[in-house]
Amino acid sequence: MKFTWFNLMPWPYLPDDFREKHRSVWVDIPNTLYDPRKGHHVYHTYLDQLEYAETLGFDGIGCNEHHQNGYGLMPSPNLIAATLARRTSRAALCVIGNSIAGYNPPIRVAEEFAMLDVISGGRLIAGFPVGTPMDTNFCYGQIPALTRDKYREAHEMIMKAWASEEPFAFDGKYNQLRWVNCWPKPIQKPHPPIYIPGGGSIETWDFCLDYDYNYSYLSFFGYLRGKSLLDGYWERVAKRGKDDSPYRAAFAQIICVADTDAEAERLYAEHVLYFFNRCLHVFPPFADPAGYRTMATIKHGALAQLTLARQKILENLTWKQLIDERFIIAGSPETVRQQLEECIKGLRIGHLFCLFHNGNMPDWKTRHSSKLFAEKVMPHLRDLWPEWKHDERWWMHPMDDRLRPEERRPGAEQSGAEWSR
C-alpha cells in the first residue's frame, strides 16, 4: 500500500452562519471572507504539515486544484508543489492535478510538470482531472458540452510534447501551435505516473485503461458509497482484459485517529462537521451544468446524482452518522485499522489519499492524528497486497543521486558545485 498525505487547504475562518447567509462555498463565495494576512499563516501551517508528513513516513504528499473555493486554497497546485520540491526529498509529490481543459495553451502544464519533476529529482505524480464543473465551467469559462473534447486534445498535446524529441506542429481544434518543443523535459521516462481523478463518469474508466493510467476516485463520502463505483471500474478492467493490480486505483478518505473512539469524537467532531456543513455547501446548479456530464453518464445514474439530495444529507449531519455511514474513518488506532482494511480490500485500491486535516482543524490536532496513524495504523496496512508488492507502474521513479535541498544551508558553499557534475 502507498499512503499519500493530502491537504485540501480549506479556509478555516468561514463564519458559523455561512450556510444560512451564503448560497455557495464555491464560485460566488464572497471574497471579503478571505483575509490575506490570516492567509499568510494558513498557507505556512498547511505547507509545514505536508513537510511534516514526509518525516512521518508517508509515501507521498498531495495537493490539488480548485478555484474560487472556500475549502481549497490552491488555484495553482504547482506553486504548492514547487515549495515542497525544495523542502522535501523523499516523498512523491502528488499533484492531483491540473485541470488541463482550462489551460491555454496546455503546453504550459507539460512545462510546469516537467519543471516540478526536474526540481524534485523525479518525484512528480501528475494528475490530469477534467476538472469539476465549478472550476472548469463556471470559474474558468469552458463550455460544458465541449469540455471533454478539449480535455482530450490537451492531454494529447501534453503527452506528445513529453514524448517527442523534435519540435512538432500541433493543429488542434482548440489549440494551434506551430512549434511544440517541451523544454525542460521530465526526468521520469516515458513520463511521470499519470493519475486521473474521476467522479462517476464512465468515459473516464476507458480513458484510464486505454493509456494504463491510475484511476483516482476522490470522494468525501467514504467507501460504502464508493463501492458500487469502484466495482463498476473493476468490472470494466476485467472486460478490457487488463490485470487487476490494485495500484490501478486510488481512493481519498477522511481519517481521524485518537487514543480512543470517544477521544476522536471529542477532538475532531467539530472540525469534520465544519468541513461537511460549510465547506461542501455548494449551490447545486454549479455542480451540474448541462453538457458537463455526457448523456450516457446521466442515464447511468440520472437522479442519484441530483445534488439537491446530497445537500439535504449535509444539512443535519451528526458525528454518529458520519461514522455509521463511513463517510469518515475515525477512532482509536485499532478501529481505524479495521475499517481501513475493509475499505482498502473492499475497493481494491493500492493508493490511499489520506485526509487528516479537515475544515478548521488546528495544527496540533492534525499532527496528532497523522502521527498516531503513521505509528500505529500504517505499519499494519502496508502489506495488504503481497502478490503485487513489486508493482511500481503507478509510482514515482526518482533519481538515486538527487539533491536534498532541504538539508542545505542557503549561502553555504556547496562542494563540487561544478556544472560538469
Partner 1 sequence: MKWQVVETKKGTRCRVLEGGSGAPLLFLHSAGGLLRDNPFLDRLAQRYHVLAPEWPGYGESTGEELLEDMLDFTLHGWDLVDALGLRHPHLVGHSMGGMIAAEMACLAPREVGKLALASPAGLWLDEHPIPDIFAMLPYQLAEVLFHDPAAGQALLTGGADLSDMDALKDFYLSSQRRLTMAGKILFPIPNRRLSKRLYRLTAETLLVWGASDRLIVPAYAGHWQALIPGARVEMIEAAAHMLPYEQPEAFARVLSSFLG
The residues binding partner 1 (CB under 8 A) are 27, 137-138, 141, 143-146, 283-286, 289-291, 293, 295, 298-299, 302-303, 306
Output 2 or 152, the one with its CB closest to partner 1.
Answer: 152
Report, in Å, the least distance between residue 331 CB and partner 1.
Answer: 38
What's the grid cell of residue 151? 480535455
Which run of H or E residues covers position 283? none
Between 238 and 296, whose beta carbon lies closer to partner 1? Answer: 296
Burial 105-132 (b: 16+ CB within 10 A, else e): bbbebbbbbbbbbbbbbbbbbbbbbbbb
What is the closest distance, in whole angstroms, from the C-beta atom of residue 123 to partner 1 in the complex? Answer: 37
CB of 263 to partner 1, least distance (A): 42
Yes or no: say if 33 and 15 are a contact pair by the CB < 8 Å rule: yes
Per the document, the length of the chain is: 421
Q: Could you give the CA distance from residue 234 to residue 232 in angstroms, rounded to a whole number?
A: 6
Alpha carbon distance 297, 26 (integer Å) = 24
Smallest separation (angstroms) from partner 1 to the CB of 290: 3
Nearer to partner 1, 223 or 286 (CB): 286
Nearest CA to 2 out of 398, 372, 381, 399 is that of: 381
CA dist 283 and 292 (Å) reads 16
Smaller CB distance to partner 1: residue 36 or 141? 141
For the bound state, the minimum distance from the C-beta of residue 69 to partner 1, rounded and expressed in Å, comes to: 15
Of 20, 19, 58, 6, residue with least CA distance to 378: 58
- Identify the burial level of 363 via C-beta atoms within 10 angstroms of its C-beta, where 0-12 means exposed, 13-18 middle and 19 or more buried: middle
Phi/psi of residue 72, each to 5°? -140, 110
Nearer to partner 1, 224 or 313 (CB): 313
Nearer to partner 1 (CB atom), residue 223 or residue 292: 292
75 vs 144, beta carbon nearer partner 1: 144
- We find the least distance from the C-beta atom of residue 307 to partner 1, in angstroms, to be 11
Nearest approach in angstroms of CB 293 to partner 1 is 8
